Structure 1
Amino acid sequence: MSLSFNSKLGEVEGDGWNLMSSDSRSKCGWRSRSSVCWIAAAALCLGLLLLTVIMVAHNTSAINQWDSKYTDLIHEITKGRDELREERDQLRGERDQLKIHSSNLTHELETLQSQYNDVVDSRDKLQEDIKNLHLNRTNKTCNIGWTRFNNKCYFISPSGMPKTWEGARKDCQQKGADLVIITTREELDFVKKAFGITWIGLSRHEDRWKWVDGTFLDGDGFWQDGEPNNSDGNEDCVEVSRKASAWNDVPCDRKFSWVCED
């Protein structure tokens, strides 16, 4: 709505609507002090005031609605921001935990790698030692008067000089060796060829047969049929017979030839 005020006619015009009638306009000039003129002026002012109030109320309602929407939007944005911050902090915590776990795994890996390297070095050293032992054993030389067989050195006692089992062992020990320990059929066949009967390094200890190196007889051994029988009650030492190609228990005070093993 548009309004206009005609100072000459003392009237308000707006879209063809006059606040004063034509008769009133004829009776009221610009400087007229009649009551009609003051009423018209007061009506005009009230109309303008009412229009202003309506416009202000309308604008205030719109502003309030906008403020409400703006407040809701700010609330949603703030809530979303807080949720994002919380999620960010949680992700940072998980990241820090993963960093710690990764660091621990790296330390464990380095420790395992170090242990592995130590094991590899130890293995290589053992392999080298075994290689050297085999080399030394293969290249082992026997003293003068000793016989080499399967990388071992054997001393065969002089012929015609028999000794008891203890005497034979003492002779071997004086040479830095001991009576022969037979562990294979090949070794048995080698020893039996020396004499008809030969002392070996096996004797009885509390009903068990024990080698001169302190180990007990493992398995059945190479006994003659029916042996050991301890027929004399004191057959505590063992000899090997060339004819039987096997072991026999006999008294230790008997005298036979012997074979030492280094």
Structure 2
Amino acid sequence: MEEIYANGSFSNISVVNGRGSSSSKKWLIVALISLGILSVGLLIGLIRLGVHAHAVSSSAAGLSDTKDNLTDRLQSSNDQFSAMTKERDQLNRIKVNLTDSLQSSKDQLSALTKEKNSLNAKLTELSNEVTRLQSLSNKICPAGWRMFRCSCYFLSTTSGSWNKAREDCRNRGGDLVVINDDDEQKFVVALTERSAWIGLRKETEGSWKWVDGTALSSGLKKFWGEGQPDNSGGKEDCVQIWGNSKTWNDDKCDANIQWICEKAPM
């Protein structure tokens, strides 16, 4: 009886153990399946990560190539810009040189034109002088007159006022002397050691005119004596050659001195 009980108890234990073992296997299988699924998921994730990493790497490589390409193009543009800048500067220098050359040519042309006009004027003057000399080649000055260039000059032997002097010169076929330049001034002052009237008279205060109607030029004003004309005492309207200094002096027109006449040869 005890044996039977004992056997019965063992059988129950075996059944329980058998049921427990079956349940454990199921959980193990479930666990293994879960691990397998998890592994597959991880594998898929790793594959996707690898693909993404490869894509990122490829994209990065592409961007690097693009960057290098853009850098090369930028450098090329900079080189072209630098070359264009140098060319522009060179063209500007050429322009400045051409402008300077053009201005220099214009200045030279202007100077040559002025020189040409001056030479033409001198040529005309010389031609007129030659013509005048040819017309006077057979003419001489009357007795008592002295020739200088193409004019005859006469120093009076008497004295009188400026108006009397001019009247006498006109009666002789001429007029009081008109001085035109340095050479004529030297010749005229050498004619006398005394003061003598010349054909210059005040027209208005500060304005002087020759008997031929021409105004006193600025180039002849150097022949005034020191401090002259001074209109000393007032009404000094006529001009004389000062005998002591060989310069010009304004004096009262009724002063009693000699005079110098000028006329063309006969």
Output the TM-score relative to the length of structure 2.
Answer: 0.47
Larger strand share, 1 or 2: 1
* TM-score, length of structure 1 as denominator length: 0.48
Judging by fraction of residues, say which structure has more helix: 2
Instruction: Kindly indicate whether structure 1 or structure 2 has the higher relative contact order, using CA contacts under 8 Å at least 6 residues apart.
Output: 2
